[in-house]
Structure 1
Amino acid sequence: MNPRFHAPVALRRTVLQSLLALTLAVPATGALAQQVLRVTAIPDEAPAELARKAAPLVKYLETKLAMKVEFTPVTDYAAAVETLVSRKVDLAWFGGFTFVQASIRSGGKVMPLVQREEDERFRSVFITTDPAVQGLADLKGRDLSFGSPSSTSGHLMPRSFLLQAGVDPDKALRRVAFSGAHDATIAAVAAGKVQAGALNISVWEKFVADKKVDTAKVRVFYTTPAYHDYNWTVHADMPAALRDKLTQAFLTLNKSTPEGKEILELQRATRFVPTQAENYKGIEAAARSAGLI
């Protein structure tokens, strides 16, 4: 055979081998890029507290999932919703109302995986320093602070129970304020900036246990009926295998191990249990009734 025909054949073989190597390399690179689980949470407490709560959970999930886990704080509740809907994060700690907002915003493309056992019967508390305030009706003509406008336990459900009691916050109260977070609501009431505040019962109980609030001065005057609240939610496009591993990682947490005890106590949880979107229909109904969606 004429030697001059050998070069093109060899060249074609080299090119094909290079293309094959490149093709095989691309999925590997893409797979590596996916080995990071991005996590966020609604900023219902101070940033330092959120970071403290997240640190051991991130470490635990990295071990259970065999992948890197990164916690990314957001500035407000709306940002938490948007980052999950736009898939800038993979896992988000939502309140019931932010889950409903994310579900609506995504066209039903988000899935709640687990909630704390406490979230099956969650409550809000109303607090005050005013001796004359003994019930919800006594708030008429006074100043009240909610937390974030998108907070389930710090705004939506307290507002809903006020309306049920015949107290329209926007008409019956002298002023409605929004502190932005549960701990900030306690601070506002304690400092006398408002006569009363509504917040998450678990944050209140944590402040009392840690002696961060003077209960001789600030007291609970009303505790709401129970409702479903917080959950860990993922985008529905997350692969089923990863969803299952993530769910099992939460469900297997228990206080019999030092690691599990630390995480559950920081999350203010007895344990995590499975949840589903249907559990938050009551939250959606309350939001619609209050004109918030």
Structure 2
Amino acid sequence: MPFTIRHRVLRVLAALAFAACALPSLAQTVLRVSAIPDEAPTELQRKFTPLGKYLEAELGMPVSFVAVSDYAGVVEALGAKRLDLVWLGGFTFVQAKMRTGGTAIPLVQRAEDATFTSRFITADPAIKTLADLKGKSFAFGAPSSTSGHLMPRYFMGKAGLVVDKDLKSIAFSGAHDATVAFVQAGRADAGVLNASVWDKLVEAGKVDTAKVRVFNVTPPYFDYNWTVRGDLDPALVKKLREAFLKLDPAKPAHKEILDLQRASKFIPTSAENYVGIEAAGKAAGLLD
């Protein structure tokens, strides 16, 4: 092959190789975001709308919220690269880390998520302690919920309750607000949900506090975070982290976003924060 032809062929091949390397960044034209369905779909959308508009402005690209019907679906969609950014609980982050071979990156958490708690609630005046749950019906949230199942179950065990034997029956409501509805309607003698949703429902007058009350609070643990898939463009990951960390409650538009997220501010997080959650999941037999 003459030198000039060979030279041209090599240049074409080099150009094709460069284009192939550039494809991932070129393909990222929309940021696909979702969240574990720990509340009603309409509430998740309401909470996300101003945050989505803010991220669009910060990133300079469209942001689309993708509703997913269950916790496992969010983890699977992130692992299958159908989602780019997801709001996860501590346990679902551990599941996502395992599903992605350790590549999922936890970006930020609310300051409140470093000392998160769950509230045990009841309308039964005879229930005053966790020991009083023996022989009673009980409602958790979703099976993969950190604050609505895993950590409360873990602390119930620490208190001496054998959950699958000591309780009369166990139900999974599917979401924190649904757990309150279960207990308030008498469908369960007691239940558990995360402290943030309980406070929000009480503030909104959606709980009859003359009937339903908190009788126990768990010790604190790490919980929610915003996680990205590991092969997202590093420059985009950096912009995302910076966008969350820039949210300032002194600015009215930012305060609206933070209030809907029930956050005083966002802070950096890391996978190491969720080692305890992973250990609790394994101890409860919920992780292989």
Provide TM-score, normalisation by structure 2: 0.92
Gaps of 5+ in 1: 1-15
Partner of 2:58: 64
1:32 CA displacement: 5.2
Q: 1:29 to 1:85 in 2, by over 3 A?
A: closer
- In 2, the alpha carbon distance for the partners of 1:241 and 1:29 equals 15
1:35 CA displacement: 1.8
Partner of 1:231: 225
Provide the secondary structure at the position in 2 that maps to 1:222. strand
Partner of 1:112: 106
Partner of 1:4: none
Partner of 2:205: 211
Q: 1:36 to 1:261 in 2, by over 3 A?
A: same
- In 1, the alpha carbon distance for the partners of 2:216 and 2:73 equals 31
Identity of aligned residues (%): 60
- In 2, the alpha carbon distance for the partners of 1:65 and 1:274 equals 18
Please point out which of 216, 225, 234 is paired with 1:240. 234
1:259 CA displacement: 1.5
1:33 CA displacement: 3.5
Kindly provide the amino acid, as one letter, of the partner of residue 121 in structure 1: T
CA contact 2:25–2:233 (8 Å) conserved in 1: no
Please point out which of 63, 68, 71 is paired with 1:74. 68
Partner of 2:171: 177
- In 1, the alpha carbon distance for the partners of 2:20 and 2:284 equals 51
Residues 264-290 of structure 1: CA deviation (Å, up to 9, x unaligned): 000000000000000000000111111
Residues 125-158 of structure 1: CA deviation (Å, up to 9, x unaligned): 0000000000100000000000000000000000
1:76-95 counterparts in 2 under 5 A?
76-95=70-89
Residues 197-226 of structure 1: CA deviation (Å, up to 9, x unaligned): 110100000011111101110000000000
Please point out which of 13, 16, 31 is paired with 1:37. 31
Provide the secondary structure at the position in 2 that maps to 1:162. helix
Moved over 3 A (4+): 22-33
1:146 aligns with 2:107: no
Partner of 1:276: 270
- In 2, the alpha carbon distance for the partners of 1:252 and 1:271 equals 9
- In 2, the alpha carbon distance for the partners of 1:248 and 1:34 equals 19
- In 2, the alpha carbon distance for the partners of 1:138 and 1:229 equals 27
1:25 CA displacement: 9.5
Q: 1:33 to 1:181 in 2, by over 3 A?
A: same
- In 1, the alpha carbon distance for the partners of 2:75 and 2:19 equals 35
Residues 7-63 of structure 1: CA deviation (Å, up to 9, x unaligned): xxxxxxxxx9xx99x979999997554121110100000000000011111100000
Report the count of equivalent residues: 276
- In 1, the alpha carbon distance for the partners of 2:24 and 2:156 equals 51
1:240 CA displacement: 1.5
**Aligned-pair RMSD on alpha carbons?**
2.0
Gaps of 5+ in 2: 1-8
- In 2, the alpha carbon distance for the partners of 1:30 and 1:247 equals 20
1:242 CA displacement: 1.0
- In 2, the alpha carbon distance for the partners of 1:135 and 1:70 equals 44
1:161 CA displacement: 0.5
Larger radius of gyration: 1
Provide the secondary structure at the position in 2 that maps to 1:206. helix
1:194 aligns with 2:165: no
Provide TM-score, normalisation by structure 1: 0.90
Kindly provide the amino acid, as one letter, of the partner of residue 203 in structure 2: A
- In 2, the alpha carbon distance for the partners of 1:182 and 1:27 equals 44
Partner of 2:5: none
Kindly provide the amino acid, as one letter, of the partner of residue 204 in structure 1: W
